[in-house]
Chains A and B, each alone.
Chain A
Amino acid sequence: MHWSRRLVWSLALIGVPLLAACDLAGPQSAMSPAGPIAQAQRDLFMWTFWLSWLVIIAVVGVLVYSVIRFRAKDEEDRKTLPHQTHGSTKLEIVWFVIPVILVILVAVPTVRTIFATEYTIDRANYTDDDVIIRATGYQWWFKFEYPREGFVTANEMLIPVGRRVIVELDSADVLHSFWVPNLAGKRDMIPNQDNQIWFSADHPGYYYGQCAELCLGAHAYMRFRVIAVEEDEYQAWLASFMNAADAAQTVQADPEVERGRQLMATKGCIGCHTIDGYAPGVEVGNPGFPDLTNFGLRTTVGAAIKANTPENLAAWLRDPQALKPGNYMPTLWQADDPNAAAEIDAITAYLLSLGVDADATTSATLGGSHGDR
């Protein structure tokens, strides 16, 4: 084969993975930006990518050309020595300048983007329009606190489209990292260090997040979701939490649900899990564990690993270690417990009822169908 055709072939070969790379979109992909921060990060990546592509084509092209062009044909040919060139100052200057130019081409937009996207917003400069959320990493789930509204939830945060969201990051134990690729690159959650990340979403959607710093155990299943909704839906969601304590009735109308509520106590669930409105005037749970208030509004169970359906919730309650090995949720029923199925069904019914009665429209939008993505 002629060398030029070989060259074309080899370039084509390199191009195949590139073509494949064109479609990397996904609910957790940095290549599907849904907000200005992720967009800026992706734009900068694409700029460096095209510069790199030029460099790679040039280097590999020259390399492939020269090893073919200057190939020794046989052992005899090897014996004719090539000219023993030692170097060339002119060329050295040329290929000193080339990388310098490339570096400048990368550095200028980099520095501009850093200062446009990575600064910390002082608390004094928070505006009323900002959405403030305090996120704390625990092994292996995320606590989300809305300090202005005064409630706590876990593993799923709702945000309104278009508004700036400022997330204050902290960790309760080891390092974690807050990463929602569709909306923004990651920022680490470090004990004793006030980190912050801010971003906004351009359009409604489910944006998948995941802990990106090794925290052992169930690290791979330490997931979460940012759910961007329109403003009115967001307000309704906030209201359902702020009214959760009052909205829940002590004795549930549905006997199955009521049985589930009582089982939450007998099986020990409320020893760890907070539920606003579990019983009037009674605070249950422990802030170091996932808050289950309005659990019926959640789209997932087990820190965003499964859709929040009765079947998945029941499976989770039955054997949490099977779905998420290493997590701290105990197995509450012996394998041969004859009452297990019935008790789990009751608890499932209770949990899925939480928040659903409080605001029918919110639950209709958020529960169910979108959850199983």
Chain B
Amino acid sequence: MAIGKLGAPPVVGRPPDALLSRPTWTEGLLSWLTTVDHKRLGILYIVTSLGFTAIASVEAFLIRLQLASPNNTLLSPDVYNQMFTMHGVTMVFLAIMPLAIGFANYFVPLQIGARDLAFPRLNAFGYWVYLVGGVFLYTSFLLGGAPDVGWFAYAPLTSLSNNPGLGTDFYMIGLFVGGIGTLATAMNLIVTIINMRAPGMRIMRMPVFTWMILVTSFLIIFAFPPLTVALFQVMMDRTFDTLFYVPAAGALPILWQHLFWIFGHPEVYIIALPAFGVISEVIPTFSRKPLFGYPVVILSGIFIGFMGFAVWTHHMFTTGLGPVVNTAFAITSFVIGIPTGIKVFNWLATIWGGKVWFSTAMLYAVAFLITFTVGGITGIMLAVPPFDAQAQDSYFVVAHFHFVMGGGALLAFFAGLYYWFPKMTGKLMSERIGKLSFWLLVPGFWVIFFPQHFLGLMGMPRRTQTYVEGIGLEFWNLVSTAGTFIMGAGLVLLLVNIVHGLLRGAPAGNDPWDARTLEWSTTSPPPYYDFDRQPVVNDRDAHWVQKYPESVHGERVPASASEPYDRGGAHMPGQSWYPLIAALSLLPFSYGWLYDNMWLVGVSMLILIVATYAWALEGVGGKHIHVGGHDEAHRAPDEGVDA
């Protein structure tokens, strides 16, 4: 390999010993397989996660059908256990979190005026690993049964003697592999947000969504390692007969719960904080006012993220940790209610005195506020250990976390979907279908989940495939099941609206909502280099200030000259095969581990190592562009190979 001497020009094009030349397709399947464009990867994340949401919704529908009447036998206990386990695993790991990451991928660079993430190939790797993990988990249905131990897979239910099937191995290996991609993406986002902000975008000028993604990424980095350790311990037990979680050998199975929840509780905020970020974009835009109390909202988010690591045993109040531990963790959990309440008040104050524009996105944001407030409040109730003793592992908890994760986070992301769809596609979704869908989806959600509070209080434990008649559970279960038809219709209409928008949507223009942040200053959809001119930021709500300088600064006219920053042009990353190959190697690796086939594991690791090495040697690549940008005629970039 020719390595340029110091000061000599870097290597042009393909290094002599590279295995594969850098692909240059711009359209078609191959261009998507080799893409490193954060916008394409963002769309891949969003589409994939919506696909998994649809699958998980079908699972949920089957669960509710089984529970429509007492002693129902539609699903056997085994199938039922697989359904709720895969519903939970899918929603948490394959649907909501990747949906947040998808939005982050697409919009963080646009919001901070960057042209891509810091490590574009690593970004592609993260997506493909997520897809590999999801596909691997779902092949379990074809290969002897899906995981059936619940999404938190308590030991010792997962030990080989208690669970000899492959389901648990699918869970452990699937999450283990998926976590690699999540960690890679989190680091990528942190580096991007810290290093690649547009000139003038000080940290306290960053859009709130970007801020929340930054906090979330730190949470991922600190939360996933304990989970990885725990997953690895169980796999060691199952593969190499270690005794981490074998009670007969004296193991204390409570260890799993500690490790899982010190991951699991931050995981809740990994999902919730991006949702807060989306809401903090949607509400100001459609109230046509800046976010009220921006620094307080940011600090609240940071505080919530920090405290997220100090509350894990509130998932374990009934495990007998004693009154002192329960008191301590009850109080830390209560404390989280304070910044959360502050956020809600600030959102309300943002709406107050504004000009509220009831687009579908805003409707979802309002529904989020109500639903999330209820979910947050039942969260405080559950943080009361004596009451939690009754509510823990009952349908009250099921209702609570669906209000927070489904009604809170998912509604927020639906708001985000309606808000950002025009930017991603250049087309508007139908407001008529959107509102019809909303008025089915949200009330349907309430009909499903609100009665589950009652069921929990009446003594119905979660994760039971049926219940006996005569203890008062029949009515509200039936109501809850009826709600799935209403919400299901809303979800179907949402999908219809997405397809309708793609095929028939009216042209959106660059800024259909008269919005506030930088992503709305470029075209819809943005060119692959994101911005014609390097944006320069003078204020929060950078785009708004450009449009309405007088509304913010009176007579002061902000500078808009970007010439000094554009003189050198921009460097755009080149496509690559290696992220895909490296990620795909984890699929045979997973099956090899699953079937104790160390040959397959070895070969896969070899592919991974070769791919990683080739990836490193491939060099930076990419191309240097000079975007004219000052008028339409110069829109086409002046492309040239990096030199």
Residues of A within 8 A of B (CB): 17, 20-21, 24-31, 38, 40-42, 44-45, 48-49, 52, 55-56, 59-60, 62-63, 66-67, 70-72, 77-78, 80-88, 91-92, 95-96, 98-100, 102-103, 106-107, 110-111, 113-115, 117-120, 169, 173-175, 177, 179, 181, 184-188, 190-193, 195-196, 208, 210-221, 223, 305, 325-326, 373
**A-B contact list, 21 entries, CB within 8 Å:** A24-B458, A26-B472, A41-B390, A56-B373, A59-B348, A67-B366, A72-B288, A82-B353, A83-B353, A91-B345, A100-B338, A114-B330, A175-B156, A186-B389, A186-B392, A190-B254, A192-B247, A192-B250, A208-B471, A212-B461, A325-B76
Given A96-B338, A217-B77, A185–B289 Cβ distance below 8 Å? no
Bound-state Cα–Cα, A84 to B548, Å: 11
Q: How many A-B residue pairs have CB under 8 A?
A: 304
**Contact residues of B between 432 and 486, Cβ < 8 Å to A:** 450-451, 453-454, 457-461, 463-468, 470-472
Residues on B with beta carbons closer than 8 Å to the beta carbon of A28: 458-460, 471-472
**How far does the alpha carbon of A166 sit from the alpha carbon of B391 in the complex, in Å?**
21
Whether B162 is near chain A, meaning CB under 8 Å from some CB there, is yes
User: Within the assembled complex, what's the spacing in Å between the Cα atoms of A84 and B251?
Assistant: 60
Complex CA gap A67/B345 in Å reads 14
Q: Are B162 and A173 in contact (CB under 8 A)?
A: yes
| A218 cross-chain contacts in B, Cβ below 8 A | 77
The 9 closest A-B pairs by CB, nearest first: A185-B389, A28-B459, A220-B464, A191-B247, A99-B341, A195-B320, A95-B345, A30-B390, A26-B472
Among B292-300, B494-502, B567-575, B586-594, the stretch that binds chain A is B292-300
12 extra A-B contacts, CB within 8 A, seeds A177-B393, A214-B81: A24-B458, A24-B472, A26-B472, A70-B355, A70-B356, A85-B292, A85-B353, A96-B338, A103-B338, A113-B386, A213-B154, A220-B464
Q: How far is the CB of A53 from chain B (nearest CB, A)?
A: 9
- B320 CB contacts on chain A under 8 angstroms: 120, 169, 187-188, 190, 193, 195-196
* Residues A220 and B466 in contact, CB atoms below 8 Å apart: yes
Q: Check A59/B355 contact, CB under 8 A, given A110-B384, A219-B464.
A: no
List residues 382-397 of chain B with CB under 8 A from any CB of chain A.
Answer: 384-394
Which residues of chain A are near B341, meaning CB under 8 Å?
95, 98-99, 102
A11 to chain B, nearest CB (A): 12
Most chain A CB atoms below 10 A, which of B154, B320, B334, B472? B320
**What's the Cα separation between A174 and B378 when bound, in Å?**
29
Complex contacts, A20 vs chain B, CB 8 Å = 454
Q: Are A103 and B342 in contact (CB under 8 A)?
A: no
Is the Cβ of A214 less than 8 Å from the Cβ of B154? yes
Residues of B within 8 A of A21 (CB): 453-454, 457
- Give Cα A338 to B373, complex, Å: 63
Which B residues touch A221, using CB under 8 A?
Answer: 466, 468
Given A56-B373, A84-B551, A120-B322, residue A48 in contact with residue B384 (CB < 8 A): yes
Is residue B184 within 8 Å, beta carbon to beta carbon, of the partner chain? no
Cα separation A277 to B410 with both chains bound (whole Å): 61
Q: Least Cβ distance of B348 to chain A in Å?
A: 5
B11 interface residue per 8 A CB criterion: no
Bound form: Cα–Cα A70–B286 in Å: 11
Q: Contacts of A25 on B, CB cut-off 8 Å?
A: 472
B251-288: which have CB < 8 Å to A?
A: 251-254, 287-288
Known: A174-B162, A220-B467. A185 touches B318 (CB 8 A): yes
**A86 near B294 (CB under 8 angstroms)?**
yes
CB <8 Å contact, A220 and B77? yes
Contacts of A103 in B (CB 8 A): 334-335, 337-338, 380
Q: Are B331 and A211 in contact (CB under 8 A)?
A: no
Cβ contacts under 8 Å, B472 to chain A: 24-26, 28-29
Q: A17-B451, A114-B327 are in contact. Are A26 and B377 (CB under 8 A)?
A: no
Contacts of B141 in A (CB 8 A): none
Inter-chain contact B458/A71, CB cutoff 8 Å = no
B459 near A208 with CB under 8 A, answer yes
Cβ–Cβ contact A70 & B352, under 8 A: yes
Q: In the bound complex, do residue B386 and residue A40 qualify as a contact, i.e. CB atoms below 8 Å apart? A: yes
Question: 1/0 per residue B540-574: CB within 8 Å of A?
Answer: 00000000100110000000000000000000000
Q: Is residue B232 within 8 Å, beta carbon to beta carbon, of the partner chain?
A: no
Minimum CB–CB distance for B349 against chain A, Å: 7
- Chain B residues with CB below 8 A from A102, complex form: 337, 341
Q: Does chain A have a CB within 8 A of B160? A: no
A186 near B318 (CB under 8 angstroms)? yes
Once A82-B353, A86-B290, A220-B466 are accepted as A-B contacts, the answer to whether A175 and B154 lie under 8 Å apart by CB is yes
Alpha-carbon separation in the docked complex, A175 to B335 (Å): 30
A186 to B393, CA, bound (A): 9
- From A106, A117, A179, A185, residue with most partner B Cβ within 10 Å: A185
Q: Say if the beta carbon of B618 comes within 8 Å of chain A.
A: no
Q: Cα distance A349–B187 when bound, in Å?
A: 70
Report Cα–Cα, A56/B157, bound state, in Å.
39
CB-defined contacts of A95 to chain B, threshold 8 Å: 341-342, 345-346
Residues A212 and B392 in contact, CB atoms below 8 Å apart? yes
Question: Does B150 lie at the interface of the complex (its beta carbon under 8 Å from any beta carbon of A)?
Answer: yes
> Which residue in chain B gives the minimum CB-CB distance to A40?
B386
Which chain A residue has the least Cβ–Cβ distance from B545? A84
Q: Which residues of A contact B148 (CB under 8 A)?
A: 216
Check if B358 is an interface residue, CB within 8 A of chain A: yes
The answer to whether A63 and B348 touch (CB under 8 A), given A192-B251, A218-B77, is yes
Is B357 among interface residues, defined by CB-CB distance under 8 A?
A: yes
Question: Which of these, A41, A56, A78, A215, contacts B389 with CB under 8 Å?
Answer: A41
Residue B50 lies at the interface, judged by CB distance under 8 Å to chain A: no
Decide: B468 and A223 in contact? CB cutoff 8 A. yes
Q: Which residues of A contact B150 (CB under 8 A)?
A: 214
B390 touches A45 (CB 8 A): yes
Query: What is the bound-complex CA distance between A188 and B320, given in angstroms?
Result: 7
Are A67 and B351 in contact, CB atoms less than 8 angstroms apart?
A: yes
Interface contact A214-B157, CB-CB below 8 Å: yes
A29 and chain B: residue at smallest CB distance: B458
Given contacts A96-B338, A219-B463, A220-B464, whether A174 and B318 have CB atoms under 8 Å apart is no
Q: Are B470 and A373 in contact (CB under 8 A)?
A: yes
Q: In this complex, what residue of A is CB-closest to B296?
A: A92
Smallest CB gap from B363: residue in A: A67
Interface string of B68-84 (1 = CB under 8 A from A): 00000100111001000
Given contacts A63-B366, A103-B334, A113-B386, contact A187 B351 (CB under 8 A): no
Is B458's CB under 8 angstroms from A31's CB? yes
Question: Closest CB of chain B to A104's CB: distance in Å?
Answer: 9
A70-B351 in contact (CB<8A): yes
A114 touches B377 (CB 8 A): no
B250: chain A residues at CB < 8 Å are 192
Question: Within residues 312 to 370 of chain B, which ones have a CB less than 8 A from any CB in chain A?
Answer: 318-320, 322-323, 326-327, 330-331, 334-335, 337-338, 341-342, 344-346, 348-349, 351-358, 366, 369-370
Q: Is there an interface contact between B370 and A63, defined as CB atoms closer than 8 Å?
A: yes
Q: Are A188 and B247 in contact (CB under 8 A)?
A: no
**With a CB–CB cut-off of 8 A, which chain A residues contact B221?**
none
Q: Across the interface, which residues of A come within 8 angstroms of B330, CB to CB? A: 107, 110-111, 114
CB–CB A52/B355 < 8 A: no
| A60 & B77 in contact (Cβ 8 Å cutoff) | no
Closest to B388 in A: A185
Q: In the docked arrangement, what's the CA distance between A100 and B348, Å?
A: 18
Q: Does B46 contact A (CB under 8 A)?
A: no
CA distance A219 to B150 in the complex (A): 13
Look across to chain A and name the residue whose beta carbon is closest to the beta carbon of B468: A305
Query: A118 contacts B386, CB within 8 Å?
Result: yes
B residues 136-191 in Cβ contact with A at 8 Å: 148-150, 154, 156-157, 162-163
CB-based contact A179/B461 at 8 Å: yes
B374 within 8 A of A: yes
B67 to chain A, nearest CB (A): 10
Known contacts A70-B352, A196-B320, A326-B77: A81-B551 contact under CB 8 Å: yes
**From residue B393, how far is it (CB to closest CB) to chain A in Å?**
4
Q: Are A45 and B461 in contact (CB under 8 A)?
A: no
- The contact of A82 among B338, B354, B369, B391, by CB within 8 Å, is B354
